[in-house]
Amino acid sequence: MSNKIDTEYIIYYILNVRFLLHQELSMSFEEKSAWLHGVISVIAYIVYLAIVLPMLVGVELSIEDLSTVGYELPLLATIVGAIVAAIIGSIALAVSSPRSAGQKDQRDRQIYRFGEYTGQSFVVIGGVAALLMALAQWDTFWIANVLYLCFVLSAILSTVAKAVAYRRGIPEW
């Protein structure tokens, strides 16, 4: 009797693994690319925070003290690093699946547009916040960091919107 149960369990396991592998393989190039860009954005921002936050320890958050924090180079380095990583990652994705690379159907275009429009809300919020901060003559540290944070939040929201759209479809309004 246990032999029959073991055989049924093994068959069930194999079918589930095959299903999971098929689901992963059925992910389109555009969906993989969206995930890649979202993950790279998050990693770059975490690296930036890991570099800058220790610099802020012991510094009062006054305008004079913040101007001494060297946030500019880590900010630029992580942005450029994220761009380079995205390019290399996109090339690696294209090499790993050459048949589907660059092939976009109507659904991919709609999902891309939906995700980008959804994510752009944080770019607008960041731009307005930076404008208001500049008008209030806040330190460039705060302006740059709010803009960077909003760009990252935009990438995250865009990635999540695209992932949901690929799995559940584009919501109809």
Span 10-57, pLDDT tens digits: 666 666 655 554 444 467 778 888 899 999 999 999 999 999 888 877
pLDDT of 25: 47
What is the separation of C-alpha 19 from the centre of its chain, rounded to a whole number of angstroms?
A: 27
Look at residue 124 and tell me whether its pLDDT is greater than 60.
Answer: yes
Q: What is the mean pLDDT of residues 53-66?
A: 68
Compute the mean pLDDT over every residue in the chain, rounded to the nearest whole number: 82
Look at residue 71 and tell me whether its pLDDT is greater than 80.
Answer: yes
- Higher-confidence residue of 103 and 54: namely 54
Among 119, 116, 120, 122, smallest CA distance to 150 is for 122
Query: Using an 8 Å Cβ cutoff, are 153 and 123 in contact?
Result: no
19-23, 53-57, 71-75, 105-109: least confidently modelled range: 19-23
Look at residue 90 and tell me whether its pLDDT is greater than 70.
Answer: yes
Report the interhelical angle of 29-56 vs 72-96 (nearest 10°).
160
CB under 8 Å to 145, separation ≥6 — which residues?
Answer: 71, 75
The DSSP output letter for 27 is -
Q: What is the pTM of this model?
A: 0.74
- Higher-confidence residue of 155 and 61: namely 155
Among 95, 79, 52, smallest CA distance to 155 is for 79
pLDDT of 168: 81
pLDDT of 97: 73
Q: What is the mean pLDDT of residues 63-86?
A: 85
pLDDT of 54: 83
Q: Where are the domains of the chain?
A: 2-168
Q: Report the distance separating Cα 33 and Cα 21, nearest Å.
A: 18
pLDDT of 131: 96
pLDDT of 74: 94
Q: Which of 103-111's residues contact partners 24+ apart within 8 Å by CB, and which partners?
A: 103/29, 104/30, 108/28, 108/30, 110/165, 110/170, 111/30, 111/162, 111/165, 111/166, 111/170
